[in-house]
Structure 1
Amino acid sequence: MPSISAPTVKEHHRIMFGKLIDAAEEILRERGPEDLTAGAVAKVAGIARNSIYRYVSSVDDLRILVLERYLPQWQDAVDDAINRDSTPQEQILALAVVSLELARSTGHSWLISVMKSARSARPASEHDIPEQRAEYHSDLVANFHIEFARRVTLLWTMVDPKTASLHSRINRALLDVGMKSLDAGEPFESVKASVLASISGLFTVVDEA
């Protein structure tokens, strides 16, 4: 039996599992998905290459596990941003702010690249929003993004049903631009102000229609 560095086999497994996910995240952040190999993960984690497969069945599993480790944080932040007593417009702006804050704290471009590299060919559901039909190996990750898009669309429907589809797509596009701007080094407060002003401009369009 291999030597273990913890009081129990179960604890050793937990520690090593965490080291592998940490190693995978380091590689994905600093080098990109194309460099996530068993050899690279083993080197960063400080274990033998073949030992990886005692904890995961493939390197792709690590790609998904890195994404999933952020889901509780993302979900809690999004849920906390919604104040049921506020107007739909206020909730839309609150979701925009929390999205940008998450992008600043966890990074955006590297996570998007991981998501794209982890897509599967599983057929989309007829209930999915069209732009969100690209599925991932992880249902948890896919469902989070689909639900976020639905939430934005629902809020815009409350603002103006006739333009909800268009404005929700523009809303998400503005968030994407804002996140990429943060990745490029633009100051957070400047990006946030521009994104919020642009979304608020959509409210003005609705009011003037």
Structure 2
Amino acid sequence: MPRINAPTVAEHRAAQRRALLDAAREVLAEGSADDLGFAEVATRAGLARSSVYQYFKSRRDLIDALIEDSFPRWSERVQREMDAAGGPDRRVLAYVRANLDLVAEGEHAAASSLAALAPTARTTAESASLHRQLSTPLIAALTELGAVDAAATAELVNAVVHAATRQVEAGDDIAAVQARAAELIEPYVTLAATSGVRGNITP
């Protein structure tokens, strides 16, 4: 039995599984989906290749575990940062900033690689679920700001996020991209928060 680096065997196994998932996500974030093999993942996690089989029976099993792990992590991160931001105007801006931070950290590239590796009904369902989970707090913040059609306004916010995502992934500086996105969105949310504007940014 390998040396235990945690108080219990269960915690040790959980830590090793977490290390393997993080290593696999790192491979995908680099855009090297073809390298998502047990040997590469094990090397990055600092484990023997044979150890991977204790946690994942096959590459398909590893991909499924990554899908199950990755999508909730994204929505939980965005929700946490929105919750900490304060008022609804700050929450909308936190939504934009958090999503772009995740893109810069490689999470979007990893998710895109997963979708390419596993274009299945499960992946589609997980992606749709993520979109709903992300949209719900954004729509709630926009509703609180008084947007006439919060869902439609959320789609416009997301259009800015998607365009900014492409810029980040093309190599633009993350801080500069976030600043440009905020320049587009902040005037609306600030005016809505201070003036009770409903659905437009004209005083």
TM-score after normalising by structure 1: 0.67
1:182 partner amino acid:
V
**TM superposition shift of 1:168:** 0.9
In 2: Cα distance, 1:145 partner to 1:57 partner: 30
Deviation at 1:100, TM superposition (A): 2.3
1:191 CA drift (Å): 0.8
| Structure with bigger RCO (C-alpha 8 Å, 6+ apart) | 2
- Alpha-carbon deviation of 1:30? 2.8
Q: Write the distance in 1 (CA, Å) between the matches of 2:66 and 2:16.
A: 14
- Return the alpha-carbon distance in structure 1 between the equivalents of residues 19 and 115 of structure 2: 24
One of 164, 175, 179 as aligned partner of 1:189: 175
Equivalence for 1:111: 110
Shift of residue 16 of structure 1? Answer: 4.3
Equivalent pairs counted in the alignment come to 190
Identity of aligned residues (%): 22
Report how far residue 9 of structure 1 moved: 5.8
User: Residues 37-57 of structure 1, C-alpha deviation per residue, up to 9 Å, x if partnerless?
Assistant: 3454456555345x5332123
Runs of 4+ in 1 over 6 A off after TM superposition: none
**Compared with structure 1, are the counterparts of its residues 189 and 42 closer, same or farther at alpha carbon in structure 2 (3 Å cutoff)?**
closer
Deviation at 1:81, TM superposition (A): 2.7
CA-CA distance at 1:92 after TM superposition? 1.1
Q: Deviations over 1:119-147 (max 9, x none)?
A: 5415xxxxxxxxxx9313xxxx7644421
For residue 198 of structure 1, report the CA deviation from its aligned partner: 1.6
1:96 positional shift: 1.5
Amino acid at match of 1:37: G
**Which whole-Å CA distance do the structure 1 matches of 2:131 and 2:174 have between them?**
23
Matching residue's letter, 1:98: A
The answer to whether structure 1 residue 59 and structure 2 residue 49 are counterparts is no
Question: SS in structure 2 opposite 1:150?
Answer: helix
User: Where does structure 2 lack aligned partners over 5 or more consecutive residues?
Assistant: 192-198
Aligned CA RMSD, in angstroms, stands at: 3.7
Q: How does 1:19-98 map to 2 (within 5 A)?
A: 19-42=19-42, 47-48=48-49, 51-66=51-66, 68=69, 71=72, 75-76=76-77, 78-82=79-83, 86=87, 88-98=88-98
In structure 2, which of residues 125, 128, 133 is the aligned counterpart of residue 135 of structure 1?
Answer: 125
